[in-house]
Every structure is written in structure tokens, then in C-alpha cells.
Structure 1
């Protein structure tokens, strides 16, 4: 039975860590090791991790000074003993059948380098929505992440790509990793089942990246993979023109809304008053 190394980076998520670990213990595929990487977390991560290590010899704990998610994942993978890697954030969970189903796909298709699944986003005890990424090939990843942020993949993919980019400390490191994998010729397979459970927070690295760092991260990625985008010049131009067109259409819809028109009329006297003081 093939061994899978599960990497769980943890920073200030000690309160959820046990649920993540339990989702690995519950896997129908039993040949795994779980490496908890404490990324310099100031909370109870070490205490929770050591408790689990004492219960199951397959669970290991390592520590590094805080260097970010990419570094923590790389550090964990460097300490693995298998040819297959599964990443899992400390506040999320996998369905018990995910490793078994993912390995089957990797063994049956050598062109597949990464396997993920549909995602259930939840908050507390409430289900928010199901996300259905499509994965596949490099063209699917050029302008959006077409897969789940954590996944099962061949260690060879990680080695050939050069690991997760540790310069990307503000987000999208998983998307960048998949671009690298697909550029080298592998495919990303998304199992059409909800096998991953993503915990929604009021504040998260994903939300912060989109709200505050989206432009800068994408500028970095487009420059890093410049050759890729130049080789797909027509697709790139089409994408950005469509994005501009959509933005224009949305602006027109807003201006045509009755509340916008009322607000425009109410503020008209103030605009005239303001012009007198220029």
C-alpha cells in the first residue's frame, strides 16, 4: 500500500487543529504519515500537536520560526518519506475517502500530477456553498485558480516546480504552484464530489489577498510566468478585454438603478455649492 505524507502547516489555528488531524485519522487509506508544521505560532499549536503525537506514531511535529505558508509547506515536504503529498490547512478537513480516491486516479493516469475535489464552504455549523472547480490543463489556470488550494500530488511535481514560492507571502501560492505543475505537462484532476471542507472565517489569508493584494500578486505571477502568457497572447488579450467590458456593463447597471439616480439628484445641489468654492 502506497504511503502518503500529509502536511499540516499551523499558525494561530490550534483550536481547529484536532479536527483537521482527525479527518486524516479517519481516512480509509491507512498508510500515511502526518507532519504538523508549527510556523512559529504563538498559540497552543505545540501542545495540541504533541498530544496527538503521543496517541499515534504516524503523527509527527516540527517547528520553524514564522516564515509563511509556502515556507511551512516546503519545510514539511522536505521531511517526508513518501512519493505522494497531501496538503491540508489546520482549520480545514477532508472526507474519509479522499486519499483512497485520489491515489486511485494518480495510479491510473500518469499525466495527472495533482488531485483535488469539489469544496464545501462552511462556517460554524452552517453550510455556505459548494464550489466546483474544473481543474484540467494550463489554459484553465492562466487567469484563475481552477482547483482547491490544498490537494494530493506527486512529490515529483513539487521537486520539478521547485516547491511553493516562498516569496509569495500574501496569498495565491497554491495557484502559482498549479501553474508551474501544468506548465511542465501534468494535468490537475478534480474529483466531482464534495470531499473537502473549507472553514470560512470573517478574516482569512484568502480574503485579505483578494481585497488588498490581488493586483500586486498577479503582477508578480504574470512577470514570473511571462513566457507562458506571451505564448498565449491572444487568450490574454481576450481575457483582459472581456474583463474591461464586464466592468463597463456592471457600471452601467449601477447607474441605471433607481437608488443611484435618486442619490445623484439629491447630491446635485451640493455639487453646485462645492463648485462655487473652487
Structure 2
């Protein structure tokens, strides 16, 4: 009987203790909610993201400053003058030495010479090529063509940086009013520059929205372009700003003003898998619409006749050709404000499942560009969902929040960070508080409704 009484007393005390713990927790949660709600209304206060990070700690990657910090080696026969050229041809190069001379030869045969009223320059950017004696062989090629081109420059990257940054480096160094990106294995028709520059002259304006592009032949050859090597053709569709978020309408070798590149901040280094040209056209179009009310304006050079020749290499497959859905999911998260909220959440979920495939290339990209928040965001997704690595995932999301200066990313970064917090020890109430604030702040895009459809 005595044992039963003691057991009843023990249970009563235990229940009383649980009651006080719940009461204290609810009081703390209420106080946290009230404090955070005052923070979220102030755009200059980032404490609702993470108390440890302040706005002053955030880093903004500026293209020109980044390029200057690469300490590249430059060889050029270009005179040190302040005069500009009509057009700068930017040729990124990585282990394409057996093709580069064919590309340069397509410039040698241009119908418009450097001595005419239109002036142009060639800038080759080698992305730390690993082929045998690559640097020595490139210098030989430079010496050969410097006797033909009076304005040719060869830039050696001190480390591998990727296609986007090679273009940014070349354009930063360029003095052309107009820019033509040309990959080191592709070719252009002998009249392409002449027709392009005359068309630009006839426009009689200096608008940033002008784009020139040619229809494209796809060809398979280990040497020069020949008609019997053609395997396909891409006719450029009519430009439509409403389509560009979901379909690329221009190829990479389209001519644009350097001032447009400066306006939008250059090519993005976020897209390690490719599509950097598509993202550049999309961002350019939306930036122009927001600043001038008019998007890109595209003209076709050469009419129906293709004047750009794109080399296909047998046996090589593009990552996005095999993993289109994954690439498009990451592409959407780079510009989330251009897509429906539920599409972005679906993109998060799909990226989360492909960790084994993309973990290593994203880690490599972070080493190249450690200040890009979207890279840490992707790592947070895959570490949490693909590898159940809660601690590492939380650290990646915190890095993304710390580095982020783009308000378009706020809700997606904070949403996934809150879900990770929910799984941490003592993180449930903090997660709930942050989600409630997030849903209130983004009620205009029905974030809570879309969230509840998936979680």
C-alpha cells in the first residue's frame, strides 16, 4: 500500500513538472515571435535571417573587381591607346588547341579588313588548359596570327575559372563598343562581320537592347566547315520576352553592346553546368524592361542563310542534354522571381534528390567562386535530403543567407533553412516562428498556400 502511495506522489510531481516546462516554453516562443516580427518589417535589419550575420558582413561579387584579382598573364600587340574598336571578338579556350586555328582562320577570311572604317580586335582567354605544352603552343599560334591581326590579345588564366568568367575577363579587357563571343571550336561566315556592322550602323541609335544573331549550321568535322559535314540547322525564332524564361531563343555567338554587359553585371558564374548565355539573355531582357520599359530587340544577320557554324563533337554529350530537368530546376532557382512559387518549390525538391550527381561539381565551383550564395543553397538542399547531413546542410544554408544581397532569393533561402532548423535539437519553435513571419511577409505570392501543398 505504501509503495502505491509513493508511486502516485511521484507521478503527480512528474506531471506538475511537465506542466511548468510547457508553460515556460510557450512564454519563450511568444516572446521570440514578438521580437522577430518587429525585425522583419525593417528591410535594413537582417536578424530574422540569422542573428550572427549582419548586412555589413555580406559580400557582393562585382565582375570587374573579380577579374582584376585573377592576376592573369596578358600578351598583346594592341597599342596602349584609349581609342575603341567597333567590335571585340572574345574567344574562351580550354583544351581546344586543335580547333582554334580554324576559328581564327574564319576571322582572317572576313570580307571587312582591319584597315577599313570598321575596326575590330581578337581576344583569346585560355582557361588554364591542361593539354601537353598548351601554353607554349598557344604562344606559337599567337605569334603566327599577330602578323595578320594588328589587334590580337592572348590572356592566360592563373587557374581554371569556367566559360562564363573567361568571357567576363575578355570583355573586361576589351575596347570594343560591340561584343561577339565566339567559342574556340566554332566558325563564322566570311561576310558575317561586314553584314553585322553595316546593319548596326544603319540603326542610328545607341540603345543597349539591340542584339544581332545569325541562323546556325551544326556540323561534324575535325577540320574546317564543309557543306557535306552539316548535320543540322537552327533557325532563330522570333524574339518573344514571354518565352525566354522557359526556352532559349538565341545562341551564344550573338552580338551585343558592351554597355549592356556592364549594365547587367556580366555573365553569371553560378551556372556551372552551362546555359550561361541563356541566363544572360533572360537577365538582360528583364533588366532592360525594368529600367527602360523595353526588352531586347533582335535582328537576324544574313536572312535565312546561316552564318554561324557550330561544331558537334562525336561521342561527347552535354550534361544538360542528359539531365535537362535537373539543369532547368537549378536554372529556375537562380532567378526565382520569374517563375511560379510552386514551380520553385518543385525545383527545390528535384535538386534535393540528385545529390550524388551534383555534389562534386558544386563543391568545385564553390572553390572557384566562394562568394556565390546560390551554390551554398544547392549544397544545403542536397546535404539535407540526399545525405541526411543536418549539421553540414545548416551551415550551407547559413552561408547562403550570409552572402545573399539579392532580395529575390530571400524567401527560398529562408524557407529551406527553416525546414532544416525544424529538425535540429531545440529548433522547432524557432523554425515555426520564422515560417510564420515568412508567410506573412510573402502573402502576396501565396507562399503559405504553396508550401502546404508540398510539406
Give TM-score, length-normalised by structure 2: 0.47
CA RMSD of aligned residues (A): 2.4
Q: How big is the shift at 1:215? A: 2.7
Contact 2:89-2:179 within 8 A present in 1 as well: yes
* The one of 17, 35, 42 aligned to 2:123: 35
Looking at structure 2, the residues matched to 210 and 10 of structure 1 have their Cα atoms a distance apart, in angstroms, of 22
Matching of residues 88-103 of structure 1 within 5 Å: 88-103=182-197
**Structure 1 runs not aligned, ≥5 long:** 237-278
Distance 1:101 1:112, change over 3 A: farther
Distance 1:137 1:181, change over 3 A: farther
**Structure 2 runs not aligned, ≥5 long:** 1-83, 114-118, 289-294, 344-455
Q: Max radius of gyration: which structure?
A: 2
Q: What CA deviation, in whole Å up to 9, does each residue of 1:204-242 have, x standing for no partner?
A: 57x222213x333322322222223349x9xx9xxxxxx
Paired residue for 2:181? Answer: 87
Paired residue for 2:53? Answer: none
Q: How big is the shift at 1:135? A: 4.7
Contact 1:119-1:130 within 8 A present in 2 as well: yes
Displacement over 4 Å in runs of 4+: none
Paired residue for 1:4? Answer: 87
Matching of residues 100-139 of structure 1 within 5 Å: 100-107=194-201, 108=203, 110=207, 112-124=209-221, 125=226, 126-139=229-242
Distance 1:111 1:87, change over 3 A: closer
Paired residue for 1:201? Answer: 313
Looking at structure 1, the residues matched to 175 and 264 of structure 2 have their Cα atoms a distance apart, in angstroms, of 19
Paired residue for 2:156? Answer: 63
Q: What CA deviation, in whole Å up to 9, does each residue of 1:77-111 have, x standing for no partner?
A: 00001210011000000012212222333341647
Looking at structure 1, the residues matched to 181 and 112 of structure 2 have their Cα atoms a distance apart, in angstroms, of 16
* The one of 216, 219, 241 aligned to 2:329: 219
Paired residue for 2:20? Answer: none
Q: What CA deviation, in whole Å up to 9, does each residue of 1:59-80 have, x standing for no partner?
A: 1101102111001011000000
Distance 1:161 1:111, change over 3 A: closer
Paired residue for 1:20? Answer: 103
Q: How big is the shift at 1:28? A: 2.5
Aligned residue for 2:268, secondary structure, equals coil
Is 1:143 aligned to residue 246 of structure 2? yes
Give TM-score, length-normalised by structure 1: 0.75
Paired residue for 1:160? Answer: 263
More strand by share: 1
Q: What CA deviation, in whole Å up to 9, does each residue of 1:121-152 have, x standing for no partner?
A: 11125111111121513223221111122211
